[in-house]
Structure 1
Amino acid sequence: MAALSPPVCDFNWPAPTFELPGTDGKTYRLDDLKGENGTLVMFICNHCPFVLAILDKIVRDTQDLKALGIGIAAICSNDPVAYPQDNFANMKRLTETRAFPFPYLHDESQAIAQAYGAVCTPDFFGFDKSLGLQYRGRLDATRMNVADIDMRRDLFEAMKQVAETGTGPLEQIPSIGCSIKWKH
């Protein structure tokens, strides 16, 4: 398994719109998720060891970001046939067992991952209140087997800055993870 990293942030790039089903039975559009101070769109999945290593931190940080007026959603775009652990039923199960404080959306067609240029899981897109991209970096320095809870919270600090100033940090360290599992 080769780890991939997304490109650096393309500041003010506009967030592509979407309408996707959530594990809670509702359908969500980007406008439904938009926060008063910014929006975070995360591409994750159920089986990636990079995602699993930080899932508790994702839950913690998203709870804290919601309190700052950041709207949040996670999207799974992996091929659910080739990777059944990422199918919708398993997405629902993960949402319930981890008590996600955000909608977990299914991008079955993979069109939204393509529109965003998502490369890996996890891949974080932090937008300002006008839905211009301000952050495309990592959650923190955690890798697959590192569980240090006291690391600098890169994503949280960046989105806090976006909530307070409307702009993201100029220096960003890309996320790293497993490739999106594209359909063939």
Structure 2
Amino acid sequence: MHAIVTKGRPLIFAFHGTGGDEHQFAGLVAELWPGAGVVSPRGTVSEFGANRFFRRKAEGIYDMEDLAARTDEMIAFVRDQLSPGVPARAFGYSNGANILAAMTFRAPDLFERVALLHPLIPFTPPAQPGLAGRRVLITGGARDPIAPLAGTEALTAYYRDQRADVSSTLHGGGHELRPEEIAALQAAFAP
């Protein structure tokens, strides 16, 4: 998939959640950033018919070898989409946030800004000095049964420890995306 990009306008990478596809966030990108290019890959793993970006052994238990391999594949895919003079920004929801976070741990230079919406990283990422100064938004729900608040807070602390420019937006609900998160996402990617 190659996007049509305009020099100076951002290229937005959108990573869907489990069961979503490349169309999940197309309308949202067009609404929030008119004129931006969009690349929205479809996860190639099927979990009982639901699209995902990597395998897991159970809820919250990742197949770490598969995650590593698919992270490398996605980094290569993203690099192939990038164009000089076009700022690249990325957001992901749930499973899409997880693959996006994994990419930042390995290749912090891919995106100038990143938004992780309801991520779950059930492991301690390695130190990554390349994240210093990178803009990262993390959102979540206080009662999220899939991406518990403690994990969201730990991931936020991880990025802060790497000296990333981190902001967070939390709501009182569960795993659903709420308007305040969308507003924070739009603001995070504003010029």
Structure showing greater relative contact order (alpha-carbon pairs closer than 8 Å, 6 or more residues apart): 1
Question: How high is the TM-score relative to the length of structure 1?
Answer: 0.33
Higher strand share: 2
So what's the TM-score if we normalise by structure 2?
Answer: 0.32
